[in-house]
Structures are given as structure tokens and as C-alpha cells.
């Protein structure tokens, strides 16, 4: 089980961040939905599912039954984090469900309902922010993905050639 980095915790706690959960259908086709209720609960990610007969709910059940992976993305501005993992548990009662339900009612009114709270066990947590990905690529392959007509490329190419 992975530990959540401080930067991820800050982003997932930000009410203005966009939180998405990706599952797959029985054919492996991706299904992505926004889950504003997503948050960290101990060593798991948790989110509420409002609609009982939703596609997401079906695919999460399939994830448990057939050990299929799920992915979560949390993003705001240039910051983006991805979590890959497995569906761990579906809660239909208890204190965590009650907490999610009360938050849902505070947000949508006293008649709001909640079908379940899903828990995701993370296996991999990655900073997918553009600058982090760019720096990683630069370290591995310094000239990859650049337009060769840039003056800086020509200077770097000469430096690499001189070292060889």
C-alpha cells in the first residue's frame, strides 16, 4: 500500500480541485466520472456514489469481483496526480457512510441520498503535473519531443556531440 504524498493530500483536500474516477466496463472500455466527494480516509481513497444503478457502481462491483484496476486523477490548474489501485470495499452502512450522507445533504438539501461509499486501495501514486513529466522526460531523453528548429536544440546537440 502506498503512502499519500503531502502535495497529493493538499490537492485532494482542495474543494476547487477536480476529482475523477476511471473504471472499465466488461469489454475493457474506460468509463470516467467526476467524484467531487473524493477524499483520503486512512490509507484509502473514498468517494460517495449517489445513484444506485449507475454505470460506475456496476463497474466498481466488477472491479472487486474480477480484480480489475481503477484509476483516480485529481487536478487543479497545472497540478495533476494519478492514483492507480483496486477497489477495496463498498460501504452501505456505518459511520463513514453517514458522514458522506450528511455532507451530501448539506450540499444538495435534506432529501439528498447516497447509495454507497467506495474505498480504493492505492498501488501507485504519481505526480502527473506537466512540469514534473517534462523534467522526467528531459532527464531520460534530452532531445526527445522537441522541434529541431529551436536554437537551443542546436546548441545542445553540439554540446552532446562534443562530449561523444
13-51 confidence digits (pLDDT tens):
999 999 999 999 999 999 999 999 999 999 999 999 988
Q: Which residues contact 48 (CB under 8 A, 6 or more apart)?
A: 35, 37, 100, 101, 103, 104, 114, 115, 116, 117, 118
Domain boundaries, the chain: 6-128, 129-164
C-alpha cell at 44: 484509502
Q: Are 8 and 38 in contact (CB under 8 A)?
A: no
Mean pLDDT confidence for 50-72:
91
CA distance 59 to 70: 9
End-to-end CA distance of the chain: 43
The band of 141, judged by pLDDT with boundaries at 50, 70 and 90, is low
CATH class of 6-128: mainly beta
- Classified as helix, coil or strand, 22 is strand
CA distance 26 to 82: 23
pLDDT of 132 > 60? The answer is: yes
CA distance 164 to 161: 5
pTM: 0.80
CA distance 17 to 36: 8
Q: Are 33 and 70 in contact (CB under 8 A)?
A: no
For residue 150, give the H/E element and its range.
none
Distances from the Cα of 37 to the Cαs of 13, 79, 107, 130, in angstroms?
Answer: 10, 19, 10, 25
Amino acid at each position: 500500500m502506498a503512502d499519500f504524498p503531502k502535495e497529493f493530500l493538499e490537492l485532494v483536500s482542495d474543494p476547487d480541485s477536480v476529482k475523477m474516477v476511471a473504471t472499465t466496463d466488461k469489454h475493457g472500455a474506460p468509463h470516467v466520472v467526476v467524484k467531487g466527494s473524493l477524499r483520503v480516509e486512512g490509507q484509502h481513497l473514498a468517494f460517495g456514489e449517489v445513484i444506485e444503478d449507475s454505470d460506475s457502481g456496476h463497474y466498481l462491483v466488477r472491479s472487486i469481483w474480477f480484480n480489475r484496476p481503477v484509476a483516480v486523477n485529481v487536478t487543479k490548474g497545472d497540478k495533476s496526480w494519478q492514483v492507480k489501485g483496486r477497489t477495496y470495499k463498498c460501504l452501505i452502512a456505518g459511520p463513514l457512510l453517514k458522514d458522506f450522507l450528511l455532507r451530501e445533504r448539506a450540499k444538495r438539501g435534506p432529501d439528498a441520498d447516497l447509495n454507497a461509499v467506495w474505498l480504493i486501495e492505492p498501488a501507485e501514486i504519481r505526480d502527473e503535473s506537466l512540469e514534473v513529466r517534462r523534467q522526467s522526460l528531459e532527464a531520460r531523453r534530452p532531445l526527445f519531443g522537441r522541434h529541431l528548429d529551436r536554437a537551443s536544440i542546436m546548441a545542445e546537440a553540439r554540446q552532446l556531440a562534443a562530449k561523444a
